[in-house]
């Protein structure tokens, strides 16, 4: 299918396509435009039966069916913004109570009613979380925090010791007045545990009192929850068993940072609930998430053969492409379908923000390999405190760059989706997240994969644990002080490979841990290693 000539004799045809393939929500003030994707009404009619099954599956999920069969778990992130949909009264009450507690905690801490053990007001937040437990909070902070509003945030979202060192140095003496939030659903994930121990060590070394400054976001009765109870931490918030990390932003994972920057978390939840309602419509052409999922499906021939390039034209949404990487790629990137067939599905996501980054890669998008579709996101309302100088308005240029880039891609036969918002605030952020969450769910059903488990992630965790075990045994072999080659170390171990041993030795000798190396690093077989 080819595009009409938008500026020539087919302009009226394109206008009709635009009218047929645009969706608008009057109260939210949000448009979705898929008219520049290779999709038409006949395609949508052909896909309607497949979507009927997808709509039914989503209804079962929201009703409480076990959607994550690997872990025998329900998938209930939609209940977080509409507790009345939860399958039992205790769950409904628990959700509502947690939102109340989070909102009050934020108000009391910002207002100075909750203080450090030494009686000082809290000045900063150190947030410790990995994956969705870091990306969701970062999105909330970048998108919603206004200057001078709430507390400044710092993040441990990796186990990079250099990154930790930088953050701790930035905090310095203010660690004594820093709230430390550790997020770990199971309570046993290595990355947040390591970050927590480093933060605790430095905080106490600087005269802080951990228990009075620490908050846990975890499942009830997890290892972390038990520790927080035992030590009398400042507070604990539930990360429900039925919420996955990549869909946890409307739980305490996203709401607590929202409350600590003084954002309107009720409005955030209301926006997500409004979009949830709009995306339950079973008419494909009247459901924005279904329109988006159908466009993804047709663009990639149902095989994920095109990448998703996310281009939000607002600084506040710079983190959004990274957030979508996890939501989309962890959900859809699966080797097996529900029937056990090898399908190797997925949609790769990348991007940053316009107009800055259109200078970085639009050249290839316009003229290079045609293996993507773009997703433009715009906000119509500009900040009111930026004046007109010499008849120039920055917002006009930003809009011009967006429309110009969109047109340039179309002229090159490249596909794009556009999402436009009259204004941007907590409610629209909630709606935007709800739109993509539902599109991912529907697309997963359309291609017959389970969007709610993550066997590849679990495999990576097991492989990392195996490497750490191998390293401990390598160190034990070298404890006698003898000099050994890579092959000799591997033979002493009785397993592993020469390459895996070489990688471990390169790491050990790169730090001041008492290991030395002799030989030519460019010829690993010549190297000899020892301790002491």
Q: Is the pLDDT of residue 250 over 60?
A: yes
- At residue 7 the predicted structure's pLDDT band, cuts being 50, 70 and 90, is very low
Exposed/middle/buried for 341, CB within 10 Å: 0-12, 13-18, 19+? exposed
pLDDT, tens only, 50-98: 999 999 999 999 999 988 777 788 999 999 999 999 999 999 999 999 9
pLDDT value of residue 504: 94
Mean pLDDT of 439-466: 88
C-alpha distances out from residue 362 to 36, 299, 407, Å: 17, 19, 12
- At residue 465 the predicted structure's pLDDT band, cuts being 50, 70 and 90, is confident
pLDDT, tens only, 103-158: 999 999 999 999 999 999 999 999 999 999 999 999 999 999 999 999 999 999 99
Q: Is the pLDDT of residue 4 over 50?
A: no
What letter would DSSP give residue 530? E
pTM comes to 0.91
pLDDT value of residue 5: 47
Nearest to 134 by CA among 217, 221, 224: 217
Number of other residues whose CB lies within 10 A of the CB of residue 105: 21
Mean pLDDT of 285-310: 97
Catalytic residue numbers read 330, 359, 461
pLDDT, tens only, 174-193: 999 999 999 999 888 899 99
pLDDT, tens only, 468-503: 899 999 999 999 999 999 999 999 999 889 999 999
pLDDT value of residue 185: 92
List of domains in the chain: 11-74+267-453 (3.40.50.10490), 77-263 (3.40.50.10490), 456-531 (1.10.10)
The strand pairing partners of 372, in sequence order, are 307
Q: Is the pLDDT of residue 14 over 90?
A: no
pLDDT value of residue 319: 96
pLDDT, tens only, 188-209: 889 999 999 999 999 999 999 9
Q: 97 is written with which tokens? A: 């109570």
Q: Is the pLDDT of residue 3 over 80?
A: no
Categorise residue 390: left if φ over 0, alpha if ψ from -120 to 50, beta otherwise. left
What letter would DSSP give residue 185? S
pLDDT value of residue 484: 95
Mean pLDDT of 281-296: 97
Mean pLDDT of 336-342: 95
Q: Tell me which H or E stretch contains 22.
A: strand 22-25
Q: Following DSSP, what letter does each residue of 89-124 receive, concatenated?
A: HHHHHHHHHHHHHHHHHHHHHHTTSSB-TTSPBP-E
Categorise residue 209: left if φ over 0, alpha if ψ from -120 to 50, beta otherwise. beta
pLDDT value of residue 68: 79
- At residue 259 the predicted structure's pLDDT band, cuts being 50, 70 and 90, is very high
Strands laid side by side in the 124-128 sheet:
153-156, 124-128, 178-183, 214-218, 235-238
Contact 236, 218 (CB under 8 A): yes
The strand pairing partners of 73, in sequence order, are 68
pLDDT value of residue 362: 83
pLDDT value of residue 44: 93
Give the mean pLDDT of the chain: 94
- At residue 462 the predicted structure's pLDDT band, cuts being 50, 70 and 90, is confident
Q: Is the pLDDT of residue 6 over 50?
A: no
Q: Which of these ranges, 115-129, 341-355, 447-461, 516-530, has the smallest mean pLDDT?
A: 447-461
Nearest to 134 by CA among 185, 88, 168: 185
Q: Is the pLDDT of residue 421 over 50?
A: yes
Q: Is the pLDDT of residue 1 over 90?
A: no
Mean pLDDT of 336-357: 92
Mean pLDDT of 268-275: 98
Residue indicated by tokens 């492409």: 321
Q: Is the pLDDT of residue 426 over 90?
A: yes
Find the angle CA(403)-CA(274)-CA(439) to the nearest 5 degrees. Answer: 60
What whole-number percentage of the chain has pLDDT above 70? 98
């Amino acid at each position: 299918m080819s595009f009409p000539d938008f500026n020539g004799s087919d302009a009226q045809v394109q206008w009709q396509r635009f009218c047929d393939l645009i969706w608008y929500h009057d109260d939210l003030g949000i448009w979705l435009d898929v008219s520049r994707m290779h999709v038409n009404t006949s395609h949508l009619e052909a896909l309607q039966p497949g979507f009927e099954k997808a709509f039914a599956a989503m209804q079962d999920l929201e009703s409480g069916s076990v959607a994550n069969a690997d872990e025998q778990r329900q998938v209930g992130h939609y209940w977080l913004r509409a507790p009345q949909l939860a399958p039992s009264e205790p769950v409904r009450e628990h959700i509502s109570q947690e939102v109340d507690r989070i909102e009050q905690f934020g108000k009391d801490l910002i207002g100075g009613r909750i203080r450090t053990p030494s009686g000082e007001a809290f000045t900063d937040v150190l947030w410790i979380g990995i994956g969705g437990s870091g990306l969701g909070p970062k999105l909330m902070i970048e998108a919603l925090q206004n200057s001078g509003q709430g507390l400044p945030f710092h993040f441990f979202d990796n186990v990079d010791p250099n990154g930790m060192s930088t953050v701790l140095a930035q905090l310095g003496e203010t660690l004594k007045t820093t709230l430390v939030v550790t997020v770990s659903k199971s309570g046993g994930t290595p990355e947040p545990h390591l970050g927590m121990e480093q933060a605790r060590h430095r905080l106490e070394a600087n005269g802080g009192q951990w228990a009075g400054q620490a908050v846990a976001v975890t499942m009830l009765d997890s290892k972390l929850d038990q520790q927080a109870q035992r030590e009398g931490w400042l507070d604990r918030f539930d990360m429900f068993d039925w919420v996955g990390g990549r869909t946890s932003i409307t739980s305490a994972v996203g709401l607590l940072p929202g409350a600590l920057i003084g954002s309107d978390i009720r409005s955030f939840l209301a926006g997500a609930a409004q979009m949830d309602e709009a995306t339950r419509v079973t008419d494909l052409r009247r459901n924005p998430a279904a329109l988006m999922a159908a466009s993804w499906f047709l663009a990639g021939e149902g095989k994920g053969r095109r990448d998703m390039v996310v281009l939000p034209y607002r600084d506040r949404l710079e983190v959004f492409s990274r957030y979508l990487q996890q939501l989309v790629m962890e959900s859809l990137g699966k080797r097996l379908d529900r029937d056990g067939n090898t399908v190797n599905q997925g949609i790769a996501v990348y991007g940053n923000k316009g107009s800055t980054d259109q200078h970085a890669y639009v050249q290839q998008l316009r003229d290079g390999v045609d293996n993507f579709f773009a997703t433009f996101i715009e906000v119509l309302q500009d900040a009111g405190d930026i004046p007109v100088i010499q008849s120039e308005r920055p917002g006009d240029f930003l809009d011009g760059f967006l429309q110009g880039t969109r047109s340039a891609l179309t002229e090159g036969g490249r596909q794009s989706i556009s999402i436009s918002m009259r204004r941007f605030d907590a409610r629209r952020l909630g709606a935007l997240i709800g739109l993509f969450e539902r599109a991912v769910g529907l697309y997963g059903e359309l291609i017959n994969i389970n969007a709610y488990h993550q066997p590849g992630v679990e495999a990576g965790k097991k492989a990392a644990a195996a490497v750490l075990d191998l390293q401990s045994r390598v160190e034990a072999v070298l404890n006698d002080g003898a000099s050994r080659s890579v092959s000799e170390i591997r033979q002493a171990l009785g397993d592993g490979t020469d390459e895996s041993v070489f990688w471990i030795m390169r790491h050990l000798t790169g730090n001041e841990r008492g290991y030395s190396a002799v030989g030519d690093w460019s010829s690993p077989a010549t190297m000899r290693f020892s301790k002491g």
